[in-house]
Amino acid sequence: MSRRVEIVEDILSANDHLAAENLARLEAAGVFSVNLMASPGAGKTTLIEQTISQLRPRLRLAVIDGDLATSLDADRAAAAGAEAVQINTGGQCHLDAVMVRRGLEALDLSQIDLLLVENVGNLVCPSSFDLGTHRRVLIASVPEGDDKPYKYPGSYRAIDALVLNKIDLLPHVRFDVDTFRRGVEILNPGVRFFLMSCTTGEGLTAWLEWLEAEVGERRAEAVT
Amino acid sequence: MHELSLAESTLELALRHAQGAGATRVTGLHLVVGEFTPLEESSLTFYWDRITRGTSASGSRVSIRRVPARMACVDCGRALDPVTETWCCPTCGSGRLRLTSGDECYLESIDVEGEVA
């Protein structure tokens, strides 16, 4: 005789528990952390390089780099001056909280102010897996088109900030910033929005100021 | 590939609750998944058959109830379907909408058999 057992528990609750542990660990060490998600080629690694080289004089930075294979991205982050840990997902399409925990174990958190987690380039799967970072940021880029929030609502949802990169290409590509922005804001009311070009440097200052302010808050909380 | 992670997490969850209920076998699982939650059913069941082999959930059936995505106008409260309608309130013209359902992803219940003596 079969009987039914009521459960109602999120399928990824195990991941979410681990993510909460990751966050607690980061909080205890006073590290501010960001999960950077994007499609391949949106400019994640370039933004990370620029962030490192601009903030390095004032902050201690680390990068956890998720990729299917190779350490190309971690090498770039290390060359720019950050502590870098490469996590090869072995074909898995996203980082999860277990992999990030491995990354955290490889770092001396007491020597870090800002941790950037570079997710696997993918506009579908990473959004389902909480990593335990303080903020989730999606990097979109102009050549991808202004319809992406409408086509990938799962990924464009539950983010704290959005970077629209490659705005130097706006004169050459059919892309309506208002259309794009409206979709993002419907899915995330009040989301922070950064218009940026990592090529010309436009908009980078606002991004850096935001990160620095967030790092400052964590530090103040860790001290008190 | 992330259907494999989801299948593994579902199995872990189901086996834990089956054990908690003193059951010896899991015969069915009932998932609730939102329309905006990226999950491909055929891919999940493909992995399911393989990863449950040799476990007490071997041969179990997964049923998925998809919850349609819905949005509501923040200004006048009108509900709309974000898949078929444009993201703009047809009643008051407001562009301020919020998602009210469609991002669920949870295990609602399991069917089990047997009683641990």
CB-nearest to A125 from B12, B38, B98 is B38
For residues B59 and B52, the answer to whether their CB atoms sit within 8 Å is yes
Residue in B2, B74, B108 nearest the CB of A8? B108
**A139: closest CA of chain B, how far (Å):** 19
Stronger pLDDT, B96 or A224, i.e. the higher one: B96
Cross-chain residue pair B13–A7, CB shorter than 8 Å: yes
Q: Are residues A125 and B2, on separate chains, in Cβ contact within 8 Å?
A: yes
Pairing of strands A83-88, A161-165: unpaired
Distance set, CA A172 to CA A157, A180, A201 (Å): 28, 17, 18
A189 to chain B, any CB pair closer than 8 A? The answer is yes
Chain A residue nearest residue B113, CA to CA? A2
By Cβ distance, the residue of B6, B17, B82 closest to A11 is: B6
- What are the pLDDT digits (tens) for B28-86? 999 999 999 988 899 999 999 999 999 999 999 999 999 999 999 999 999 999 999 99
If we measure between CA atoms, which residue out of A16, A197, A1 comes closest to residue A101? A16
How far is A163 from A39, CA to CA, in rounded Å? 12
User: For chain A, what is the mean pLDDT?
Assistant: 94
The packing angle between helices B2-20 and A13-29, to 10°, is: 100
Q: Residue A36, by phi and psi: left (phi above 0), alpha (psi -120 to 50) or beta?
A: beta
**Taking chain A, what is the end-to-end CA distance rounded to the nearest angstrom?**
58
pTM of the predicted model, to two decimals? Answer: 0.88
DSSP category for residue A197: -
Per-residue confidence band for A223, with pLDDT thresholds at 50, 70 and 90: low
**So what's the pLDDT on residue B15?**
97
